[in-house]
Structure 1
Amino acid sequence: MLRAIAVAVLAIGIILVALVEAPIPAVALTAVTGVTILLLLWPRSSRDSVAPSAPEPPMADARAPIEAISDPLLIVAGSRVEQANAAARKLFGAHVVGEDVRVAIRHPAATDRLAARQATADQEPIELAGIGGRDNRWQMHVADLAGDRALVHLVDRSEGHAAERMRVDFVANASHELRTPLAAILGYVETLDDDAAAEAGTRKRFLRIIRDEAWRMQRLVEDLMSLSRIEAEKFRAPETAVDLAGLAKEVHATIRDAADPRSCDVAIAIDEGLPLVAGDRAQLSQLLHNLVGNAMKYGRPGTPVTIRASRGPGAMVRLSVEDQGDGIAPEHLPRLTERFYRVAPSRSRSLGGTGLGLAIVKHIVERHRGRLDIRSTPGEGTIVNALLPIAPLSSNRNATVTGPA
């Protein structure tokens, strides 16, 4: 009876693994539970069919079930790896079967856990760092089987660990960015308070610095709130049809009317007959303002900043902003969209940058199910391309959005 239940649980787990494109922990757990029950029952059925003195047969029947599991699984007999599924062979190497498990996993915590598995029942899973890569994090579960065997199940927690590290870094960076202008404001206020008889020119200069730092804090808070709103909406793709050509012209006119001396260098080139895109008009306007603002700050004075809108590959529209500035070294390009990442921190702060502009752009493009491409040549300039899906082919995009990646 129990063997039939085990086979049923195992079958359900394998079917779920086959049907779900990216197996969730509950699905994997169902399959692993079936494997574990089956392995627990195997020696019993073996003893029913052979003489008591016969040696315990190898667990060949377990190979097919564990191969269906996407997580790394090892069956350990004594201290030797008896079986390993494809995920485990990929992680530890094709030669892992037959190895001493301490050599295979090469982690002190794993060695201690396996050595103590029979001494203490129902032990909690342990965390392993660095297996398969410096930033990888795994959770190791060990289930005792009959005899001297054990089932080792590894669950990849790297993505969650990376997300937590990003959260911690974000809080630390945001705190630092807010503390810097606040310290300047407090310092100048205290100076003015201590020196009430300061000259009018000095007082005016101090007050101007206080105002500028207060504006810097305001921009930072606004960008933080904007980023938070965009992230909260990222699992719901916008579906309103937006005239990207008309929006680009409006943003161009707004920038040209501004008091910035660089505004007269902003040009625009729009292809005729561009299709509508499925988008959030306010967010696309913010995206364009951020890109043009960066190009005006870092482009060389007197050189053009060009806004372009054209047909992209496939069912996409390309929105790009190009400058003729100093360019960006290749090693910095992969990190440009990280929060608070700056190529030249002191220059960025002096120009009023918050370090969040391109992070906001990236999240807007991701919410629109588009692609962001940044290309730069040192000494020549930078071009940022945002590829956005056209509206007619984007109406059902939310059907594929199921939750966090």
Structure 2
Amino acid sequence: MSVVEAVQKDGRQTGMQVASKIRRGWPIFVVATLVAIIAWLLHIDILMVAAGWVLIALSVFAIRLGSAAVTNTPEEEGIEDDADDQPLAEVVSAYRALDIPILILSSDATVLFHNPAAERALGEFPQGAHLSARLRSPGILDMVRETVATGEPNQMEHSERLPSERVYILRIAPILAEGAPVGSARFYVLSFRDVSELRRLDRMRSDFVANASHELRTPLASLRGFIETIQGPAKADARAQEKFLGIMHDQATRMSRLVDDLLSLSRLELKSHIAPDQRVDLLPLVCHVRDALLPLASDLGVDIRMHMPEGKVEVTGDRDELVQVVENLIENACKYGQEGEVVDVYLTREEGQPVEFSVVDRGPGIPAEHVPRLTERFYRVSVADSRSKKGTGLGLAIVKHILTRHRARLIVKSEIGRGTTFTVRF
């Protein structure tokens, strides 16, 4: 039932109540008229006067009752007409054009109207259903009940976790005409203001400061120490200066990689809730990444073996981001699994099954207790090993965020002494 239909229904119910009252007064009117006629025929003045007063009273009552049905004055009904029959058709039309989710509720929390933005953000609302049929948060339902009971506006913050995290500021307020008494409304507007980006930016800023300060402290301390050494004890030692400058260059390069990865992670988090809509052929993409990593693999003594199907292997995604995923997984396998000297890359496509991309190394493997935390920022199985291989600790965190945006899964299987398998399931 729409809002306008609800108001029309209220009007019909009021008319039926008025008609019922008039029907109940009709026998009194007939009796009074008969008494007046008999008194006139018998010349009984007292009865004529009494019957006349009764007829006058009934006439005044009928006039006032009809006026109440038309004007619905606060003295007769306790609710102003403007409070209930505020031109809701115009209000509904305006709400349809807004780009924020809007619901109009009755006093029993029935959803009378929802605009297109609400349907896009929250899903379809069953027509005339209770608010709890779609929003089951006890906090929201309590807020609505409190506003209906007190007539005062309320607001709260609400989070949705699926399909991606969204944060809304919910506000409910009664629909009242100017000057209408508090508590006289029968309709309420519930709005949703999306503040997800603001919350995400705040969290990103705090995370960036905390992570960057922690990770940059060591290379900055090294740079400062080497600079002081070159300016002091090694001021005239050309060989020592050359050695220290090489280490300083490595530390500065590490800081540069760290900042680049942090910025990349921040950009990914900004658009994690927006699924990509391009079609990408993974076969040439994986081959291109393998070719780019051949010099690194050759330096590490690793042979990259490809196991590719025939024809196209298409998925929905962002090509540049998928390049990051493939490059990161193959590069990690070469660096941390170089003891096995072989890295196998698989791309599988079977009828009725999801597309899978797998990278298998034959290195030392990862202890089981570390596997669940591999995609955390700056988490390292071995800090010394990671830094010696020029890792930032952010690679798998970036992979996780990209795959979350692509609605894909990262599956890690490892066995000590036998290697590790990273599988992306689209």
TM-score (norm: length of structure 2)? 0.56
RMSD: 5.0
Matched residue, 1:268: 305
User: What amino acid sits opposite 1:6 in the alignment?
Assistant: L
C-alpha change, 1:372 and 1:268, in structure 2 (3 Å) is farther
* Counterpart check, 1:183 vs 2:221: yes
| Contact 1:10–1:65 (8 Å) recurs in 2 | no
User: What amino acid sits opposite 2:101 in the alignment?
Assistant: A
**SS, match of residue 136 in structure 2:** helix
Alignment of 1:79-228 (within 5 A): 85-86=131-132, 90-92=136-138, 127-128=156-157, 139-144=169-174, 147-148=182-183, 153=190, 155=192, 159-160=196-197, 163-172=200-209, 173-196=211-234, 202-224=240-262
Matched residue, 2:112: 65
Q: Encode CA deviations 1:246-270: one digit per residue, 9 max, x unaligned.
A: 55445445544437653x3333232
C-alpha change, 1:63 and 1:305, in structure 2 (3 Å) is same
Post-superposition offset of 1:25: 7.8
| Contact 1:336–1:342 (8 Å) recurs in 2 | yes
Matched residue, 1:302: 340
Identical pairs, percent: 30
C-alpha change, 1:364 and 1:138, in structure 2 (3 Å) is closer
**SS, match of residue 296 in structure 2:** coil
**SS, match of residue 366 in structure 2:** coil
- The higher relative CO (CA closer than 8 Å, separation ≥ 6) is in 1
C-alpha change, 1:128 and 1:300, in structure 2 (3 Å) is same
C-alpha change, 1:282 and 1:115, in structure 2 (3 Å) is closer
TM-score (norm: length of structure 1)? 0.58
Post-superposition offset of 1:375: 1.7
| Contact 2:101–2:114 (8 Å) recurs in 1 | no
Matched residue, 1:386: 424
**SS, match of residue 306 in structure 2:** strand
CA–CA distance in structure 2, aligned partners of residues 346 and 250 of structure 1 = 31
What is the aligned residue count?
A: 319
Structure 1: state its 5+ residue gaps.
17-23, 40-58, 73-82, 106-110, 389-405
Post-superposition offset of 1:382: 3.0
| Contact 1:328–1:376 (8 Å) recurs in 2 | no
CA–CA distance in structure 1, aligned partners of residues 134 and 285 of structure 2 = 52
CA–CA distance in structure 1, aligned partners of residues 415 and 193 of structure 2 = 39
CA–CA distance in structure 1, aligned partners of residues 91 and 241 of structure 2 = 78
Post-superposition offset of 1:65: 2.0
C-alpha change, 1:162 and 1:330, in structure 2 (3 Å) is farther
* Counterpart check, 1:28 vs 2:101: yes
CA–CA distance in structure 1, aligned partners of residues 356 and 234 of structure 2 = 57
C-alpha change, 1:352 and 1:114, in structure 2 (3 Å) is farther
Matched residue, 1:327: 366
Post-superposition offset of 1:157: 5.9
C-alpha change, 1:225 and 1:313, in structure 2 (3 Å) is farther
**SS, match of residue 319 in structure 1:** strand
Matched residue, 1:318: 356
CA–CA distance in structure 1, aligned partners of residues 238 and 294 of structure 2 = 36
Matched residue, 2:9: none
Post-superposition offset of 1:308: 1.4
User: What amino acid sits opposite 1:5 in the alignment?
Assistant: P
Matched residue, 1:373: 410
Matched residue, 2:50: none
Matched residue, 1:6: 88
CA–CA distance in structure 2, aligned partners of residues 365 and 267 of structure 1 = 23
> Bigger radius of gyration, 1 or 2?
2
C-alpha change, 1:162 and 1:258, in structure 2 (3 Å) is same
| Contact 1:312–1:387 (8 Å) recurs in 2 | no
C-alpha change, 1:235 and 1:84, in structure 2 (3 Å) is closer
CA–CA distance in structure 1, aligned partners of residues 283 and 294 of structure 2 = 17
